[in-house]
Every structure is written in C-alpha cells, then in structure tokens.
C-alpha cells in the first residue's frame, strides 16, 4: 500500500557530480540484444533490495511485462546481462537507491529492479527513446536517472496525467538529473532523439522500478 505522502508522488532530484563521473564510463560496456529495441537500446538488468545503506543483489531473472502494459514488446521474457559488479559495488550506484527509497518510502524487503540503458542516436534519422509511447511500466514507483546526453537533440522525458493527455512536465534531463514518480498515478514518455553530428551520440539512463 502506498502511504498518503506518496499517493501523488512526483519528485525531481540531482545526483552528485562524483556519482555522475563514476557511473559514466560503464555505459560503454552495454551490449546489444536480439529484442525489438536491441539495436538502439543497449541494456543490462539486475534487481536488488536496499537496506541500512547496503545493496543485496537478488538472483538473476528475466524481465517481462504483459502485452497490455507494453504494447511494443510485451509478453516476452527478456534476458539481459547483469549490471557489472564494479558498478554495483560503487557508492555512486548506491546513491541512486538511497534517493529512490527515501522518496518512495519503500520497505527494506521490497525488490527494486534496475535497467542500465544507452539509447543511441543517428544523424538524419530519429530514434524512439520510448517506443512504447505514452505508457506506464506496471509498477508502483518509477525512477529515471539520466547520467549523460552526448551529441543529441530531443529525448526529453515527459510526465502525463493520463495516457491521452498532453504532458504536465517535459525536460531534457542530463548530468545526473532524475525524476521519481508514482507509476500508478502518472504516465510517462520520451521524445524521439537525433544525433547532432556524425560522432557517437547517445543518452545514458538508469531506470529503477518497484
């Protein structure tokens, strides 16, 4: 049950510069996959509990959403490599969970899933940062932590009061900025993005759900 304090949760925050710098390099190690978004959304996936300032990694599992929640690639058990041990052991990684748990008031035993993703941009063509469109993820809480934007335009994250309504919030998150929201109360999406030149272009994101 969500408490009254988090019933209409929508909060913004900022990771420390040290955390952002610590997490940036690990995204270069993300692999492609054979799933529908695998060529342009590189990903690792793990899940944890967070208590007393420490993470406990839970056994490896596939990630799955029902087709009514994810109309793009629902009803598919997607298996991704786990987030690298060096990242998991870092203070920077723990800082995300500390913020997420504080803002959502989660209990210590509540599992928190985390996706580490790089969304690639290309010059002269648009990449769907959220091919699901305006959607919910099927959880109580969602946190989007944008670690870095590189050589892109677009990719703004939007929060909607209802699926068919215009966003009440829209922002090009960067450099450790994050939003945490009530996934049962709000809907979210992301604008298409495009490379501004021929160099490597991407948006690096951690997505936490519980």
Question: What does the pLDDT read at residue 74?
Answer: 45
What is the Cα–Cα distance from 170 to 198, expressed in whole angstroms? 27
66-103 pLDDT, tens per residue?
445 444 444 466 789 999 999 999 999 999 999 999 99
Q: What's this model's pTM, rounded to 2 decimal places?
A: 0.90
Mean pLDDT of 109-136: 93
Question: What does the pLDDT read at residue 132?
Answer: 85
CATH code for the domain of 40: 2.60.120.620
Mean pLDDT of 133-151: 95
Is 90 exceeded by the pLDDT of residue 7?
Answer: no
Number of domains in the chain: 1
pLDDT averaged over the chain? Answer: 89
145-191 pLDDT, tens per residue?
999 999 999 999 999 999 999 999 999 999 999 999 999 999 999 99
Mean pLDDT of 12-30: 97
Is 70 exceeded by the pLDDT of residue 9?
Answer: yes
Question: What does the pLDDT read at residue 36?
Answer: 72
Q: Which domain holds residue 38?
A: 4-209
90-94, long-range: CB within 8 Å, 24+ apart, which pairs?
90/22, 90/23, 91/18, 91/19, 91/22, 92/15, 92/16, 92/18, 92/19, 92/20, 92/22, 92/23, 93/23, 93/55, 94/50, 94/53, 94/54, 94/55
Which of the four pLDDT bands, split at 50, 70 and 90, describes residue 44?
very high
């Amino acid at each position: 049950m969500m408490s009254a304090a988090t019933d209409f949760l929508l909060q913004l925050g900022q990771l420390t510069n040290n955390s952002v710098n610590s997490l940036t390099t690990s995204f270069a190690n993300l692999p492609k996959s054979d799933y529908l978004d695998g060529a342009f959304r590189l990903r690792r996936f793990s899940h944890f509990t967070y208590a007393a300032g420490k993470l406990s990694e839970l056994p490896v599992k596939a990630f799955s959403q029902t087709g009514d929640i994810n109309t793009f690639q629902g009803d598919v058990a997607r298996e991704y490599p786990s987030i690298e041990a060096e990242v998991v052991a870092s203070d920077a990684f723990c800082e995300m969970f500390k913020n997420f748990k504080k803002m959502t008031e989660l209990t210590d035993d509540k599992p928190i899933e985390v996706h580490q993703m790089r969304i690639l941009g290309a010059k002269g063509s648009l990449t769907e940062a959220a091919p699901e469109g305006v959607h919910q993820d099927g959880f109580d809480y969602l946190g989007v932590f944008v670690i870095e934007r590189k050589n892109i335009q677009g990719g703004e994250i939007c929060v909607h009061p209802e699926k068919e309504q215009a966003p009440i919030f829209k922002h090009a998150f960067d450099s450790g900025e994050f939003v945490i929201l009530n996934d049962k109360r709000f809907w979210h999406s992301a604008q298409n993005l495009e490379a501004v030149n021929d160099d490597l272009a991407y948006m690096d994101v951690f997505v936490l759900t519980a």
